[in-house]
Structure 1
């Protein structure tokens, strides 16, 4: 992860990618400007410069750079494409930052599940084994983009205090980790998933309407099914996620 940040800073400094403000997700874009290098007279010297650059960040190819951007683009499709107002209205959730985060969190988890599945290998005569690979790397990039967005959004809240903001991000991080565990446990059992959703979305309130939880469970199952249809190749280089409408579940 430290190397990722070094790479991002170097690329920003040289104009290879535009700085991303996830408080304005639509602003994300690739920059087509080439890295500005001083004219050094020979091709050999320029190649040496590039090799030094790649060695500094620990890679000799561009695969990880592209995967990092894939993770950021994937995260962007959540705040840009999810119909939050419909979720607020249909599921009777308050239109607050907390509700926005919980909805975003669920969609991010759905992406994480799909990408982590890419690293599950089946060996002859053995059970399925998980090996950290590109899926794990993209997963970390998606989460990194989430917290960049959260930090920017909290700063934009009216009267935000930096010290309080840091505390809120820490609390959200702890809640996020707990939510992921709860959702993971519910992958194979609707009852466990429903309990996790009830706890996360409605704080186990006895006034919660059962049909609202059922809608979220159905959405989750159907969305996972849709994500499974994305081929590994498209998932790696050309991910295009269409979120289902909560109104239909």
Structure 2
């Protein structure tokens, strides 16, 4: 029996190769068959006849279309791994075996996380945090993919979301011990509904302004908590705008190998930009201390003792 990783890759490739690529190859072959053959009185060039050139072009195009799904699966896998590792966490095997995993106030399994999203942005190392931060990164990729051709964009987006749901189900099974397939599928359905809502919320924020975008981040990433630091919200919004700008500057043909490099700029660096107005205000309000001129020493004549 194939391992879990092999079955996952096989499912991705089967889904990809049975969609648009197959129909493109069929259309190309039909067009080739319908092509009229060259006339018999046409001068022959044994190096490359029109018929031979047509065969070569058709074969090259068919192989290109057949190889494209493998490129998309590989590229989206690298991109997804860059998104998923940003808020990665672990749960102790000892606690999982003994059933002593710590819980949050909402009843979620509380693991161990050392990423900036756990430390600087004060998010708990849970499955919910991991999924929300991962989907936040994926949204930025989805926004860039909309610039591609419609069918190409759908292919990339479909593979990217498949990677996420395969990984999410694997975490439910191996990390959190949810062995019931029906229960996992119910949770995955809830995640899909959240994902659709996230796309709509972040799209609205990108269009309407930073305050609306910060509100969407607050509702999804921070679960509308009352103790959220507004500096963190401002830093995340600034980082999202910067990532969208950097992704827009990547050419379409370079998305295969340059997309994941965008996330090398950590979101915590935006705290410097957020705190800049406060530092400037503090510098402006700080009183300037001017040193007074030193007074000349007073000479006191010593009294002569009688």
Q: TM-score, normalised by structure 1?
A: 0.67
Change (3 A) 1:190 1:91: same
Q: Does the aligned pair in 1 maintain the 2:76–2:156 contact within 8 Å? A: yes
Report the aligned-residue RMSD: 2.7
In the alignment, which residue of structure 1 is the partner of 2:268? 247
In the alignment, which residue of structure 2 is the partner of 1:72? 77
Q: How does 1:192-211 map to 2 (within 5 A)?
A: 192-211=212-231
Aligned pair count reads: 188
Q: Does the aligned pair in 1 maintain the 2:13–2:73 contact within 8 Å? A: no
In the alignment, which residue of structure 1 is the partner of 2:14? 8
Secondary structure at 2:189's aligned position in 1?
helix
Deviation of 1:187 (Å): 1.5
Instruction: Spell out, residue by residue over 1:140-191, the C-alpha distance to the aligned partner (whole angstroms, 9 max, x if none).
Output: 1101111111111111134324133222211111111111110111112212
Q: TM-score, normalised by structure 2?
A: 0.56
Deviation of 1:6 (Å): 7.8
Q: How does 1:52-91 map to 2 (within 5 A)?
A: 61-80=66-85, 82=86, 85-91=115-121
State which drifts further: 221-230 or 102-111: 221-230
Change (3 A) 1:215 1:9: closer
Runs of 5+ unmatched residues, structure 1? 12-50, 120-131
Q: Does the aligned pair in 1 maintain the 2:12–2:162 contact within 8 Å? A: no
Larger Rg: 2
Deviation of 1:64 (Å): 3.1
Q: Distance in 2 between matches of 1:205 and 1:195?
A: 11
State which drifts further: 176-185 or 64-73: 64-73
Q: Distance in 2 between matches of 1:200 and 1:112?
A: 17
Deviation of 1:69 (Å): 2.6
In the alignment, which residue of structure 1 is the partner of 2:162? 144
Deviation of 1:10 (Å): 11
In the alignment, which residue of structure 2 is the partner of 1:107? 137
Q: Does the aligned pair in 2 maintain the 1:154–1:165 contact within 8 Å? A: yes
Q: Distance in 1 between matches of 2:235 and 2:129?
A: 16
Larger RCO of the pair (alpha carbons < 8 Å, separation 6+): 1
Q: Distance in 2 between matches of 1:102 and 1:164?
A: 20
Q: Distance in 1 between matches of 2:252 and 2:200?
A: 25
Q: Does the aligned pair in 1 maintain the 2:12–2:159 contact within 8 Å? A: no
In the alignment, which residue of structure 1 is the partner of 2:204? 185
Q: Distance in 1 between matches of 2:147 and 2:259?
A: 17
